[in-house]
Structure 1
Amino acid sequence: MQPAVGPQSQAAPAGAATAPQYRSNPVAFRRPDVLAGLLLLLAGVAAGVSLVLDWLPDGRTGTDLVRTGVDQVRTSFSDVVDSGFWQPLLVVLGGGALALLGLLMFLPARRHRLLGLLALLVAGGVVAAVLVPLVQERFRMDTFDLGFYVAIAVAVLGLLGALKALLTGPKYATAGPT
Structure 2
Amino acid sequence: TTFNNKIGFAGSMFSGYGLSYEYDLSRAFTLEFTGSIYGTGGTNNNTNNYVTSYLVSTIGTELQRNFYVGHDSRFYSYVGLGFWIDNTNYNNDYDNNSSNDTYSHETDYSAGIGLGWEYALSRRFIFNVEGGYLYRDMYVKGTNYIYDNIFGRRIEAYADHTYYIGFGVGVGIYYAF
Q: Which has the higher strand share?
A: 2
Answer yes or no: same fold by TM over 0.5: no
TM-score by length of 2: 0.22
| Structure with a larger share of its residues in helix | 1
Q: Normalising by structure 1, what TM-score?
A: 0.22
More relative contact order, 1 or 2 (CA 8 Å, 6+ apart): 1
